[in-house]
Amino acid sequence: MEEHLKQYPLVEVAKHNSKKDAWIVIDGKIYDVTLFLDEHPGGEEVLLEVAGRDATREFEDVGHSDEARELREKHLVGVVRKETKEELAQAEREGVKPVHSPKQPQVPLWKKLLIPGVLVVMAFLIRKYLS
Ligand code: HEM
């Protein structure tokens, strides 16, 4: 069934980010929630916040019921495909950014090691100072 769905790149999804035209992506599937905004038990605000981008994490974080998952499929309009180089370049010119859901905040390694590193150096200096 999914093979018949239209495919859109995230840069296209990103354009549907308003109250009059709101798409969201969950697990690579695109849902047009424009008409659902009014009916969403969680309110339209939260949906508009994630309109035009991947909302997989936000959807899962709420712990939506099986009914909600079923209801979701009524609004299915397509699936996400990778954008072509031309589409990416075009989007960049227009200032449209494809927004993927952040999986984990990316903390660089040096930041993770900074505090333990400082402690080790301090311990070393204190030992040297005391001996
Ligand atoms: C097509 C997509 C969605 C559908 C069909 C949907 C449907 C529902 C339904 C039926 C409920 C009632 C509780 C339940 O049955 O789980 C609900 C609650 C809620 N939803 Fe969604 N939802 C969708 C997307 C989202 C997204 C993307 C967010 C977050 C950005 C969100 C946030 C919430 C919140 C905060 C509640 C209220 C939870 C509570 O009060 O306990 N929903 N939604």
Nearest of 46, 42, 2 to residue 24 by alpha carbon:
46
CA–centroid distance, residue 42 to ligand 1 (Å): 5
Interval between CA 10 and ligand 1 midpoint (Å): 22
End-to-end Cα separation, the chain, in angstroms:
75
- Structure ipTM: 0.95
Do the Cβ atoms of 24 and 53 come closer than 8 Å? yes
Instruction: Read off the pLDDT of residues 70-114 as tens digits, 9 standing for 90 and up.
Output: 999 999 999 999 989 998 898 888 887 776 665 556 788 898 899
Based on the number of CB atoms within 10 Å of its own CB, is 77 exposed (0-12), middle (13-18) or buried (19 or more)? middle
> Domains (ranges, CATH) in the chain?
2-102 (3.10.120.10)
Residue to mutate (ligand 1; options 32, 37, 48, 62; most atoms within 8 A of CB): 62
Residue 55 Cβ inside 6 Å of ligand 1? The answer reads yes
| Predicted structure pTM score | 0.79
Atom of ligand 1 nearest to the CA of 55: 27
Whether the CB of 22 sits within 6 Å of ligand 1? no
Nearest to 29 by CA among 8, 14, 51: 8
